[in-house]
Amino acid sequence: MAATESRLLDPTAVAEEQLQEGHGETPGREDSLRPRRLADYIGQSELKQVLGIAVAATRSRGEALDHVLLHGPPGLGKTTMALVLAQELGVRCRITSAPALERPRDIIGLLVNLQAHEVLFIDEIHRLNRVAEELLYPAMEDYRLDLTVGKGTTARTRSLPIAPFTLVGATTRAGALSSPLRDRFGLIQRLEFYELEDLQAIVVRAAGLLRLQLEVDAALEVARRCRGTPRIANRLLRRVRDVASVQGHEHIGVELVQEALSLHRVDDRGLDASDRRLLTLMLEGYGGGPVGLETLAAGLGEDPTTLETVIEPFLLQQGLLQRTPRGRLVTAAGRAHLGWPVQQAA
Ligand code: ADE
């Protein structure tokens, strides 16, 4: 039921709770490895700086933090950052996602139960329906709910005050947000793919938490292969751990990482089977492009939005794919990576 999917979370207890329930983008497994404080959050330095200042200023004024919109590809730490913000503010974080807020009462229930300065995290916020979105406007702006009571000619609007709170919205598609909603966020931050050294540090940290003896070079190898994404890094690390334990290795070195990740069809640049399938289709079916998103999605049997928000961003960032007004194009680097001749025969 939608209402029960919205859960009350104490950031310090989030791991246990999510392990029991599992929820949307954040399976419980991930939580034991999440940083809890800003100081433990590796990478995204601009984001940390901006939010660190906002948190400190807010705390000193004794107010609710301004609403925060986090956007960017999946797996880069949007949910983690919402939990970190709540921890830094010393408040609880309620986590939900837009598809769980189907009926007006789902969002009303959440808003009226908020305590002062708490964080409400709404994942996939671009998927909010119009009614929910319109209920949010006065809630965000004036900490007020405008409710319609009665029907037809007797319908009246009643305003209900709610506690000052912070909405943290997350989306992989900032462009899909309506401007009235986007304009109500005081802080809008994009999460970027992580630098190699940051990913290596994240893997070293995770290996420590999982009590693995992972060589520094082996951590770098995982970092190279995780599509710039901590969630994938941690997932790959668990797969490496499986191979190590099955083969009886206490120490994990580079070769073991390479062996384990080849088994999972992750190549030396971190591309997975879906990435290669896309590039291969473009090269084999369309001479490398330009070719339209819809055509590619149909050819791969993927949803165009998934292609655009999950698969493409990393390939674009790596310079293996290019977006042009006439469609997507495999770059020379993309061709080279798949072992295709860079200059096509005339
Ligand atoms: N685990 C996943 N993401 C992380 C991050 N940004 N910093 C530290 N540990 C992480």
Residue labelled with tokens 């995982």: 222
Residue 31: per-residue pLDDT:
75
Tokens representing 294 are 């819809």
Residue labelled with tokens 């007006």: 104
- Model pLDDT for residues 221-259, shown as the tens digit of each residue: 999 999 999 999 999 999 999 999 999 999 999 999 999
Residue labelled with tokens 């789902």: 106
Strands 213-214 and 251-252: parallel
Residue 11: per-residue pLDDT:
37
| CA 198 to ligand 1 centroid distance, Å | 9
* Best residue for ligand 1 mutational test, from 33, 44, 78 (most atoms within 8 Å of Cβ): 33
Low-confidence ranges of the chain (pLDDT < 50): 1-27
240 backbone dihedrals φ, ψ, rounded to 5°: -65, -40
| CA 40 to ligand 1 centroid distance, Å | 8
The verdict on pTM exceeding 0.75 is: yes
Residue 19: per-residue pLDDT:
32
Residue 22: per-residue pLDDT:
33
Residue 16: per-residue pLDDT:
36
Residue 346: per-residue pLDDT:
52
303 backbone dihedrals φ, ψ, rounded to 5°: -80, 135
* Best residue for ligand 1 mutational test, from 42, 78, 197 (most atoms within 8 Å of Cβ): 42
| CA 201 to ligand 1 centroid distance, Å | 9
| CA 76 to ligand 1 centroid distance, Å | 8
User: Which residue has the least CA distance to atom 3 on ligand 1?
Assistant: 230
Amino acid 221 reads E
Amino acid 318 reads Q
Kindly give the number of the ligand 1 atom that is closest to the alpha carbon of 194: 6
Residue 343: per-residue pLDDT:
66
Q: Decide whether any atom of ligand 1 lies within 6 Å of the 77 Cβ.
A: yes
* Residues 106, 7: Cα–Cα separation, whole Å: 11
Residue labelled with tokens 């630098």: 195
Does residue 75 contact residue 30 with C-beta atoms inside 8 Å?
no
- Residues marked active site are found at 78-79, 123, 172, 231
Q: Decide whether any atom of ligand 1 lies within 6 Å of the 228 Cβ.
A: no
Sort 210 into a burial class: Cβ within 10 Å, 0-12 / 13-18 / 19+.
middle
